[in-house]
Amino acid sequence: MRTALVTGGGRGIGAAVSKKLAHEGYRVIATYCNSSKPAEMVIDKIRDSGGDGVAVFCDVTDQRQIALLATHPWICGGVDVLVLNHGRYDRVQADELDLTQLRRTMSTNFEGAFLVWKSIEPHLSPDARICVIGSQLGTRGSAHGADYSASKAALATWARSLAQSVGPKGQRVNVVAPGFVDTDILGGDSTEKRASREQEVPLKRIGSPEDIASTVSFLVSAESAYITGAVIHVNGGLYLP
């Protein structure tokens, strides 16, 4: 059976990706860090729909936890799809950012993704598909999220470099860069702020986690067999690099 590993697979975009891939026949390993309940609920829905999955704790800033994740029997049996989705976003003004805050974000968003891939790499199938969840902010920057923007920029550049390296082996690596998506990051928006965001988007709506999951599904499918090293912006026209 094909296996997909989705980091941060219990909430927001990760939850939508986990359910989408399970629907397409993958057994899904969804990692979580802060709370097991959302991830377990995702797995329950997958199983109720006839799929198979498991929620696994993994703090991606802890190399011991990542090493333990790599010993999971499903992973040892081979990973066909790796979705690096976990992340943190602390709203800090760029001119107020300090080194501790920067290191914390980079450790989670960039180094954590690299370390998960590095640990899982021996178990990736010859034609494995890797999808990195980046952000439009990794290209355009953000006055109140310079650390997040920097981490996503590093992640995207690393992913494109990796695509060049593993391409000859038959593996593909792509990046999805969302714009405004209805996840916890926007959870604190007032009604007025949300309406303002919607007006910024040419399609006049906030994206859904399912919008991103559909793009991930395409990028790990045979339909995208000649796409690797790409950064796909999914933002309703909000940002056109």
Residues noted as catalytic: 148
Tokens 């939508």 locate to 16
Report the C-alpha gap between 142 and 157 in whole angstroms: 18
Report the C-alpha gap between 154 and 150 in whole angstroms: 6
* Residue 191 φ then ψ, to 5°: -60, -40
Q: What angle do the packed helices 99-106 and 146-166 form, to 10 degrees?
A: 40
**Stretch (H or E) spanning 163:** helix 146-166
Q: Which of 150, 158, 159 lies closest to 99 in space, CA to CA? A: 150
**Stretch (H or E) spanning 41:** helix 36-48
Distances (CA, A) of 93 to 102, 105, 153: 12, 14, 18
Cβ atoms of 15 and 9 within 8 Å: the answer is: yes
